[in-house]
Amino acid sequence: MIPLNKPFLPPQHEYQDYMNDIWQRNWLTNHGPLVKEFEEKVSEYLGSEKMVFTANGTTALQIAIKSLDLKGEIITTPYSYVATTSSIVWENCTPVFVDIDETTLNIDPEKIESAITGRTSAIIATHVYGNPCDVESIQKIAVKHNLKVIYDAAHCFGTRYKGEAIYNWGDISIASFHATKPFHTVEGGGLFTHDKELKKKMRYMMNFGHDGPYHFQGVGINGKNSELHAAMGLCNLKYADEIFDKRKKLSEIYDNKLNELPVQRPEVTENTIYNYAYYPVLFESENAMKSAAGYLSSKGIETRNYFKPSLNQLPYVDKAHVPVSESVANRVLCLPLYFDLTEEMIDIVTGSLEKSMLEYQ
């Protein structure tokens, strides 16, 4: 059995050391010393604005939308995890889907302007698979039309664009540290913004709006994270370089072995230091994808159609014409990629893939 994903775990005694300290202090949550330390160390590691550590990436996205007071229509990508769209709908805004670029699989900036109306308040784009969007073009459009920009950068820990953490782009960027992501805190998320006032507002919002014990700055929610999750983050941060080096090495082994097969790979944006967050391959047709996935599954190899369905097909959104996204969602398969994966296991995956594709033809 080769799973799709296996979360990285640090040596248990290293986590235990943090637990001993937590037991001594008996300070479990509410912006404790480990949460503070984690926020600082993440920003040091990334060279980014100081992060706000949240309960998860979805809450971060919802707080981001709320803090910017977005209304009406939000232009967004149909090719992402469901949380990108569901957060927009949850905050009572209407997602307007703009199709993706067929090489990077990110929102196509050339199609954004024709989707802007008098009701458009923002663009929420995903750097899908950790690969940067065309952030410069998106920025230009946003400035021209006075729109806010939020990046769903859930896949992006470790990705750098033109030498900088990709989280530095947009009015707000959000991170996810869910266990399935390359760098995780079990559950967790992050908010990044250059705007100090906005950051303050988001800090109030994620703590019920508390401004002291009996005074409230505004409406809030509970979006905090705990000392135990911060401890996992601090442990894992020590291994972050090792994790990303390993993912790069494994991805390159895949690249070499898949060279001869008729599968397409998304292109990494220029000037990017990529984090190898996933290993997606695109087949020529939905049937070719299904036949490969079925064969791999019969050999005990787990794969997944990240990201399916194309989000314009969710039952609670208006219809949209986004043929590239729909086509990609029907042909994509993510192959196993995680720290403990070995070259021998990749051999089994790619060997099986080759066999299934020969049989299919």
Residue 199: which of 15, 361, 48, 2 has the closest Cα? 48
Residue 279 CB, nearest distance to ligand PLP (Å)?
15
Q: Which is nearer to ligand PLP, 52 or 83 (CB)?
A: 83
Tell me 133's DSSP state.
P
Q: Which residues contact 87 (CB under 8 A, 6 or more apart)?
A: 58, 61, 62, 65
Q: Which is nearer to ligand PLP, 68 or 357 (CB)?
A: 68
Asked if residue 5 lies in contact with residue 184, where contact means CB atoms within 8 angstroms, the answer is: no
User: How far are the Cα atoms of 83, 113, 247 from residue 75, in angstroms, in the given order?
Assistant: 15, 10, 32
Q: Which is nearer to ligand PLP, 189 or 220 (CB)?
A: 189
State in Å, rounded, how far the first CA of the chain is from the last one: 26
Asked if residue 80 lies in contact with residue 126, where contact means CB atoms within 8 angstroms, the answer is: yes
Residue 35 CB, nearest distance to ligand PLP (Å)?
16
3-class SS of residue 53? strand
Q: Which is nearer to ligand PLP, 147 or 334 (CB)?
A: 334
Tell me 49's DSSP state.
S
Residue 323 CB, nearest distance to ligand PLP (Å)?
21
Binding residues vs ligand PLP (CB under 6 A): 56-58, 80-81, 83-84, 126, 152, 154-155, 176, 178, 189
- The residue assigned the tokens 């995903």 is 126
Residue 304 CB, nearest distance to ligand PLP (Å)?
12
User: How far are the Cα atoms of 70, 220, 226 from residue 206, in angstroms, in the given order?
Assistant: 17, 6, 13
Residue 194 CB, nearest distance to ligand PLP (Å)?
21
Instruction: Report d(CA 340, CA 345) in Å as an integer.
Output: 10
Asked if residue 200 lies in contact with residue 176, where contact means CB atoms within 8 angstroms, the answer is: no
Q: State the residue number with the nearest CB to ligand PLP.
A: 57
Q: Which is nearer to ligand PLP, 56 or 120 (CB)?
A: 56
User: How far are the Cα atoms of 8, 42, 160 from residue 45, in angstroms, in the given order?
Assistant: 18, 5, 12
Q: Which is nearer to ligand PLP, 326 or 353 (CB)?
A: 326
Q: Which residues pair with 74 in a beta bridge?
A: 95, 122
Q: Which is nearer to ligand PLP, 82 or 219 (CB)?
A: 82
Residue 87 CB, nearest distance to ligand PLP (Å)?
8
Phi first, then psi, for residue 334 (nearest 5°) are -95, 130
Residue 150 CB, nearest distance to ligand PLP (Å)?
11
Structure tokens at 88: 């927009």
Residue 167 CB, nearest distance to ligand PLP (Å)?
14
325 by Cβ neighbours in 10 Å (0-12 / 13-18 / 19+) ranks as: buried
Please tell me the number of Cα atoms within 13 Å of 185 on its side-chain side.
28
Residue 173 CB, nearest distance to ligand PLP (Å)?
12
